[in-house]
Amino acid sequence: MRIVVAVKQVGALGDEVEFTDDERDVAPEYLEFALNEWDSYATEEALRIRERLGEGEVVVVTAGDEEAEQALRRCLAMGADRATRVWSDALAGADPITVARALAAPVRVEEPDLVLAGVQSSDSIQSATGTALAELLELPRVAVVTKVDYDHAARRATVHRELEGGLVDVVEVATPALLTIQTGINEPRYATLRAIKQAEQKEIQVVDPDDLGEPPDRVRRMFVPPRGEGAEMLDGSPAEIAQRIAEIVRESLKA
């Protein structure tokens, strides 16, 4: 039994922002990098399935430069068995479908029983890589999963698909399949210091991508959205602000 988890090292904005010279992305020195939140849930879910079955292997795969190995090592420290990184400079700032094309070969070679990915990444917010990857691997897929009941012997999984408005769609899917995992499905474990140290020593396989095809879009420019039409800001001491809030609340409730 083998589960592959596709993960991403994401960038979060700090207090200030500057763009690259071509204005097509945020300059990397203004980003703080970490494992995508959704992917920590996906990794945890893979580990739990492995533990429940009492056998099997969890392999984490990412498309990213050397910096992205941090994300893989975090997953290794949580308990993943192996890690693969696929990269070429053509993947810098790539869209999710191109990333899926890069991930397809290293995932396929693992002949996985399940492929898990996060629903979305916090920096691109496209909710697309997982589903596109499933298509390229010709796998059935379910997006936005909040519960997985995997029957390895029967080669199927019964999963909860989280719809809008607090409704769940119970779906039965043939496996191998790809599931995109939603936050809250589990409680991701913390890695012990010892596990983090051991993960530092593990070898990460690095491979080149296959043909990436034509990208589906191009970022023309990024910019800070214009402000001004937003909220009326309340200034002053906490006591003064509380006073104003109290007035606004009372006034608005009368309406």
Minimum distance from residue 103 beta carbon to another protein (Å) = 11
Of 191-230, which residues contact another protein (CB under 8 A)? 213-214, 216-225, 227, 229-230
Within residues 127-166, the interface with another protein by CB under 8 A covers 127-129, 131-132, 134-136, 140-144, 158, 160-166
Tell me: does residue 82 bind another protein (CB under 8 A): no
Shortest Å, Cβ 12 to another protein: 7
Q: Is 239 in the site for another protein (CB under 8 A)?
A: yes
Residue type, 150: Y
Cβ distance to another protein smaller for residue 77 or 117? 117
Give the nearer residue to another protein in terms of CB position, either 76 or 97: 97
From residue 6 to residue 25, the character string flagging contacts with another protein as x (rule: CB under 8 A) and all else as - is -----xxx-x-x--------
The CA distance from 142 to 54, in Å, is: 25
Tell whether the torsion through CA atoms of 73, 74, 77 and 80 is positive or negative.
negative
Stretch that binds another protein, among 1-9, 71-79, 93-101, 109-117 (CB under 8 A): 93-101
Give the whole-angstrom CA distance, residue 122 versus residue 141. Answer: 21
In terms of phi and psi (left: phi > 0; alpha: psi -120 to 50; beta: otherwise), the region of 219 is: beta
Burial class (CB in 10 A: 0-12, 13-18, 19+), 110: middle
85 counts as binding another protein under rule CB under 8 A: no
Nearest to 5 by CA among 203, 196, 178: 178
For residue 43, the surrounding DSSP H or E stretch is helix 37-53
With contacts defined by CB under 8 A, name the span among 49-57, 61-69, 74-82, 167-175 that binds another protein. Answer: 167-175
Could you tell me the smallest distance in angstroms from the CB atom of residue 197 to another protein?
28
Q: Which amino acid is at 196?
A: I
Strand partners, 57: 2
- Binders of another protein among residues 40 to 69 (CB under 8 A) are none
Q: Which residues, 6+ apart, have CB-to-CB distance to 122 below 8 Å? A: 10, 12, 36, 37, 38
Does 233 help bind another protein (rule: CB under 8 A)?
yes
Q: State the minimum distance, in angstroms, from the CB of residue 114 to another protein.
A: 13
Strands 156-162 and 141-151: antiparallel
Question: Does 114 participate in binding another protein (rule CB under 8 A)?
Answer: no
Nearest CB to another protein, comparing residues 10 and 191:
10
